[in-house]
Amino acid sequence: MILYELKCNNGHQFEAWFKDGNSFDKQAKRGEVECPVCSDIGIHKAPMAPAVATSSRRTVSEPDSGQRAQEVATEILKALRKVQAHVEKNCDYVGDKFSEEAKAMHYGEAEERGIYGEATDQEASELAEQDIVFHRIPWRQRKDS
């Protein structure tokens, strides 16, 4: 197995394991490797420094864990912003009536459509108990500036 640092055409970097170097080349050529952030299939190997072991078993190319954590957090926030923008563009905002609307659609009392809004913990528990599919996502509040 080999671990590659990969990069998409949009500049997102990520890691992936492959059986060997040929496996990556074949999968990438067929468009089977995609960016986990933006789904781009224009993937190439990112430049990597060789891992050189020292007597203390550390590698020369080891990134600062704080820096890597910050990069991961930044990518997660970008992905969440994309999800939020997609939901806002394609779904109806129902505010605090989310639970009522979800139940009405589930039981055929209202036309099915994409909705988003707010639900209390109690309302979310009731939806789950009734096998009504919904997802909670972190929501970024917009700021007027």
| Same domain, residue pair 109 and 138 | yes
| Same domain, residue pair 58 and 71 | no
Structural domain that includes position 117: 64-145
SS (H, E, C) 98-141: HHHHHHHHHCCCCCCCCEEECCCHHHHHHHHHCCCCCCCCCCCC
Number of domains in the chain: 2
**In the numeric block, which tokens belong to residue 31?**
């468009």
Query: 15 forms bridges with which residues in the sheet?
Result: 5
| Same domain, residue pair 50 and 70 | no
Per-residue pLDDT of the chain (145 residues; tens, 9 = 90+): 788 889 989 888 888 888 887 888 899 888 888 888 888 899 988 776 555 555 555 555 555 667 777 888 788 888 888 888 999 999 999 999 999 999 999 999 999 999 999 999 999 999 999 999 998 888 877 655 5
State pTM to two decimals: 0.51
| Same domain, residue pair 24 and 84 | no
Query: 95 forms bridges with which residues in the sheet?
Result: 117
- Which helix H or strand E contains 89, and what residues bound it? helix 65-90
